[in-house]
Amino acid sequence: MIPELEEGVLERHLSTCLATPCRIESASRMSMGQSRAMYIVELDCESSGPRTVVVRVEQWGLLGTDSKDEVRVMRALRDAGYPVAEIIHYEPSDAVLGQPFFVMDFVEGTSVFTRESLDPYVKALAELHRLDPVEAKLGFLEAPAGPRDPALLQVERWYQVYRGGLAGEPSPLVEEAAQWLRNNAPASERVTLVHGDPGPGNYLHVDGELAAVVDWEFTHLGDPDEDWAYLISMRGMGVMDEAAWIDYLDSEVGVKLDRDRLHYWKALNFFKGVCIDQTALGIYVDGHNRAPNLLAIGTAVHLSALKRLCEAVL
């Protein structure tokens, strides 16, 4: 259960948002996701009957993101016909649940990876990269100005997250890696919408057919190779090796990856992991949340990402 539900706070809030009295029949925390605490909430609403929603609650800036742009991205993409869940309500204050949160409709499907679900997902990711950000009303996202800015903006974004979330002294390994990424930032031929966390586990499917793409908190305008590198080296590691991925993406969606550029974007994604994982330790040390998983993310997971980063750049 969500502790706040004992006083009916969310129940009253949802009744107002949905413009009909609603009773919460059950609420349970979902095991998936780290940046947000996610709950499946079963409602019985006076005017519409049973309804299932998902409540996605921020956690003190965990993983260096907030919900504001995530909600705007999802709403814009849904209006553009892209497969995302419908946002019902966004609460930017901490007055209701102690943290900002948003409510979205529940989408039937599973996030458990199957090989048959990969083809439609990869095609959808390529489609995302073809969307016109202006036509899709995503002009609020910062647009890289120069050819190397897709890389440089991301380096600085995550470096600032790292420095802002430190629970101790900065690591000289991270500092050196950040400078390597600045020095070696490649020029980008095109700027597209970048999901930022693509791959198995972050899409839902039913019998292999894509139902929805989820987790948009890292979305930005940048180089599409950032997404392909993340898919290959992070979420897709257990699906096939790098050489097989390169051949597969070429044959399936016509994406031709340059090995040197791929190496850079892999390193940047490792750097991103290093920086965002460190925020969990800060939240744990500050006492906002003493959950063991935050300590694990801020120590063991952080060090594992740092090892991969060092192997890539140092």
Q: To which residue do tokens 């790098």 refer?
A: 242
Give the model's pLDDT for residue 307: 97
Per-residue pLDDT in tens (0 to 9) along the chain, 314 residues? 565 555 588 999 999 999 999 999 999 998 766 789 999 999 999 998 999 999 999 999 999 999 999 999 999 999 999 999 999 999 999 999 999 999 999 999 999 999 999 999 999 999 999 999 999 999 999 999 999 999 999 999 999 999 988 878 899 999 999 999 999 999 999 999 999 999 999 999 999 999 999 999 999 999 999 999 999 999 999 999 999 999 999 999 999 999 999 999 999 999 999 999 999 999 999 998 898 999 999 999 999 999 999 999 97
What does the alpha-carbon distance between residue 253 and residue 152 come to, in Å, rounded to a whole number?
A: 27
Give the model's pLDDT for residue 2: 60
Counting every residue, how long is the chain?
A: 314
**206 pairs with which residues across the strands?**
209
Give the distance, in angstroms, between the CA of residue 194 and the centroid of all CA atoms in the same chain: 10
Q: What is the pTM of this model?
A: 0.95
Question: Which domains can be identified in the chain, with CATH numbers?
Answer: 3-105 (3.30.200.20), 115-313 (3.90.1200.10)
Q: To which residue do tokens 């292999």 refer?
A: 208
